[in-house]
Chain A
Amino acid sequence: MLTILFFGHLKEILETDCLRIELSQNQDSIDTVAKVRKLLQLKGNLWTEYLEYGMALVAVNQEMSSEDTVVNDGDEIAFFPPVTGG
């Protein structure tokens, strides 16, 4: 099971702040950030548009990650826009 979190405008646009993906339900192995992104984009419309590479940053277990970062069962994966604190 992967826990997927959304922050900032992504949370509002996708109307979701958290969802879970059961890994065993998926035919192809979801083992990288890129594959998680692609899987979520299959939900279509805004998901396809706003989760596009370059639109959303990704952190795996609270560490900034890249497309080829490996994901494992139990990981927490967060999608969010570029940060604007300070």
Chain B
Amino acid sequence: MSHFTHISVQTQDFDFAHEYQKLRESNNSDGALVTFVGLVRDTNLAQAVTGLFLEHYPAMTQKVLNQIVEQARKKWQLGSVSVIHRVGQLCVSDQIVFVGVTSQHRQSAYHANEFIMDYLKTRAPFWKKETTTQGDKWIEAKASDFDKSAQW
């Protein structure tokens, strides 16, 4: 095995152990592997959330995710990178997103993982619509996410 970049936008769930294993087995030179998983919460802005629908712009999503990973690779020396984002109808506690990064030492993997999530949240064309006990509503972008992304 050797270093790889894996990007997938999919409706089906992902198996964390499997994704972790693929990253781990991709090489013997990296001493750090950092993963992040985003989940559907049961509350947002004090309202009970019962489900989440994720829309995206298929032709653009893959392109943007590729660009984000390329930018991360320019900033830090990385081994393998895996980004999986789900779309379609999700339930509370479902997995939404997986970001896994390997590097020789932990600092690059930590930073790159956070960078990829921050950029994904402000640049990748996904839109969330929440199903709440008070009806459906599109989630609005948060200024704090843009502030977070600007720090890089």
A85 located at the interface, meaning its Cβ lies under 8 Å from any Cβ of chain B in the complex: yes
Chain B interface SS verdict (over half): mixed
B59 to A84, Cβ gap below 8 A?
no
Docked Cα-Cα span, A78 to B125, in Å, equals: 10
Report if A14 contacts B (CB, 8 A): no
Q: How many residues of B contact A (CB 8 A)?
A: 26
Is the beta-carbon distance between B127 and A83 smaller than 8 angstroms?
Answer: yes
| Cα of A63 to Cα of B57 in the assembled complex, Å | 11
Instruction: Evaluate contact between B141 and A78: CB separation under 8 angstroms.
Output: no
A48-86 contact mask (Cβ, 8 Å, vs B): 1 or 0? 000000000001001110000000000010101111111
* A85 x B59 contact (CB < 8 A): no
Closest to B120 in A: A86
Per-residue CB contact flags for chain B residues 46-86 toward chain A (1 = under 8 Å, else 0) read: 00000000111101100110000000000000000000010
- Cα–Cα, bound, A45→B147 (Å): 33
The yes or no answer to A9 lying at the interface (CB within 8 A) is: yes
Which residues from chain B contact A5 at a C-beta distance below 8 Å?
A: 57
Contact with B along A1-43 (1 / 0, CB 8 A): 0000101110000000000000000000000000000000000
Listed A/B pairs (30) with beta-carbon separation below 8 Å: A5-B57, A7-B55, A7-B56, A7-B127, A59-B57, A59-B60, A59-B125, A62-B57, A62-B63, A63-B60, A63-B63, A78-B60, A81-B138, A81-B140, A81-B141, A82-B140, A83-B123, A83-B124, A83-B126, A83-B127, A83-B141, A84-B121, A84-B126, A84-B138, A84-B139, A85-B128, A86-B85, A86-B97, A86-B121, A86-B126
